Copies of this chain bind each other. A is one copy, B any other.
Amino acid sequence: MKEDIKGITADKEKNFSEWYTQVIQKAELADYTKVSGCIVFKPYAYAIWEKIVEVVNDKIKKMGIKNVYFPLLIPESLFKKEKEHVEGFNPEVAWVTHTGNSKLNERLAIRPTSETIMYDSYSKWIRSWRDLPLRLNQWNSVIRWEFKHPVPFLRSREFLWNEGHTAFATKEEAEKECHEILEMYYEFVKDYLALYGIKGRKTEKEKFAGAEYTLSIEYFMPNGKAIQGPDAHFDGQNFAKAFNIKFIDKDEKEKYAWQNTWAISTRMLGVLIAVHGDDKGLVLPPKIAPNKVVIVPILFKKDKEKVIDYCTKLEKKLKKFDAIIDLREYNVGWKYNEWELKGVPLRLEVGPNDMKKKQVVMYRRDNHKKENVKITSLIKKIQDTLDDIQKNLYKKSKKLFEDNLVETDNAKDFENAIENGKFIKAYWCNSQDVEEKIKEKGAKILNIPLEQPKKLGKSLYHPERESKYMVYIAKSY
């Protein structure tokens, strides 16, 4: 019986991990399966992902990039062509060795990412400068058989993503795209998912296996951990050389292409849930919510049919907000709980008296405030409030970062801050020994922010060394 479902019983602040697990299950976002580390994306989570895909896909297409579909399976010989790439991914690859009752002559890797299958085709397709740029993208799922503790959405052995793979005639064009893509992802996540992030370049140690450098956006979770969001890798000519992607340029010389790869994944669903949710459950930013408004009629014996009729008409009027009406035979309190659990941005409560007064009671999921709204001004009021919720959630996300940010050049303060789950702003001498030291403390350099201050502070751990970059450091997924 659905009536039995309880709200969230865990305290987000005190026991984030238990809270997260409860939200995932009680808001019907995901479920575990018999495949270890792989989840079902249930309809509600998948609907949010579909919204993400719709918006990002549109942005990608407007940039002139085209969608394709390459095979799921990659022959081992292709997979191993780029040295750094294979070293990076080999430990996590799922291998197909048999089909039916036959053993394959060559093992096939399930794509952990598709460079190696795509670039074999690129080397056939790219002949002349006229064939460039070649800018392709695919939406699919990938498998990375990690052995760390899996967490739904945040760390899954299978996840959904887009992977863009592009080739250009010049380094300049490729690098320009790489930054444009990062900016596109950044703006999308900011505008739609209402998440505050930091754009930057990964350190040499943390870059994508096979790339020249990796640009990333890092996000900040309520449990004091950071997490990498979308990324864009400038591959230079590394893959072009491994896969022989050459073209005859306008000057009739043969040259290697310059390449990028970039992605956003279902991991962002996890960040969205973790950052915005509260002790009542999920809180969805309006721009990404499958339903921005839910109408709950308050029914008594008297005027029951009239109120239902009134609310059904209202639902139609609010179609542009993907409004839904809850006519199920549960009590009103249970319904309120459920829609709060599911994070619907606005709830409209309509009883016989509201109907008579030509008003509704509007409840805001983000700040729990209720107010009466006249029907005549309802649409505008809803739109304004949704905009306000969207802004408010972004502000909260930024505040989460700022409230937990510690700037220090002192090793002891740094280590304390790490232990206390803070985000740290520090200055780095760009040497691997310091990066290792930070790792030993259980944290890492998230990225080197693209926006650097004019004046750098003292270098962490080695004040005698010249500091090269301001960096953010935290524990990280």
- Interface set, chain A 257-314, CB cutoff 8 A to B: none
- Do A38 and B73 have beta carbons less than 8 Å apart? yes
- 16 residue pairs of the A-B complex, CB under 8 angstroms, read A33-B70, A35-B75, A35-B108, A40-B69, A40-B70, A40-B71, A46-B66, A49-B69, A69-B141, A72-B72, A72-B110, A90-B100, A92-B99, A93-B100, A95-B98, A110-B110
A78, B78: Cα distance in complex, Å: 32
Question: Does more than half of chain A's interface fall in helix, strand or loop, or is it mixed?
Answer: mixed
User: Which chain B positions have C-beta within 8 A of A96?
Assistant: 94-97, 110
CB pair A98–B100 under 8 Å, yes or no, is no
A165 to chain B, nearest CB (A): 12
Question: Is A10 interfacial (CB 8 A cutoff)?
Answer: no
Query: In the assembled complex, which residues on chain B have CB atoms less than 8 Å from the CB atom of A107?
Result: 98
> Contacts A94-B96, A95-B97, A95-B99: A71 and B39 contacting too (C-beta < 8 A)?
yes
Interface contact A124-B31, CB-CB below 8 Å: yes
- Return chain B residues, CB-CB under 8 Å to A184: none
Nearest to A73 among chain B residues (CB) is B35
Asked whether any CB of chain B lies closer than 8 Å to the CB of A41, the reply is yes
Those of A77-135 within 8 Å (CB) of chain B: 77-78, 90-101, 107-108, 110, 117, 120-121, 124-125, 128, 130
A47 within 8 A of B: yes
**Which residues of chain B are within 8 angstroms of A99 by Cβ–Cβ distance?**
92-95, 145
Give bound CA distance, A74 to B36, whole Å: 10
Known: A2-B130, A95-B98. 12 other contacts (CB 8 A): A31-B124, A40-B70, A41-B70, A43-B66, A47-B67, A73-B158, A92-B99, A94-B98, A94-B99, A94-B108, A100-B145, A100-B147
Q: B110–A100 contact, CB under 8 A?
A: no
Tell me, yes or no, whether A143 is within 8 Å of chain B by CB: yes
Q: B41 contacts A69, CB within 8 Å? A: yes
Q: Which residues of B contact A1 (CB under 8 A)?
A: 128, 130
B98 contacts A33, C-beta separation under 8 Å: no
B35→A50 contact, CB < 8 A = no
Is A121 a contact of B31 with CB atoms below 8 Å? yes
Instruction: Give every chain B residue within 8 A of A78 (Cβ-Cβ).
Output: 34
**Residue A240 at the chain B interface, CB threshold 8 Å:** no
Known: A35-B108, A130-B2. A69 touches B46 (CB 8 A): yes
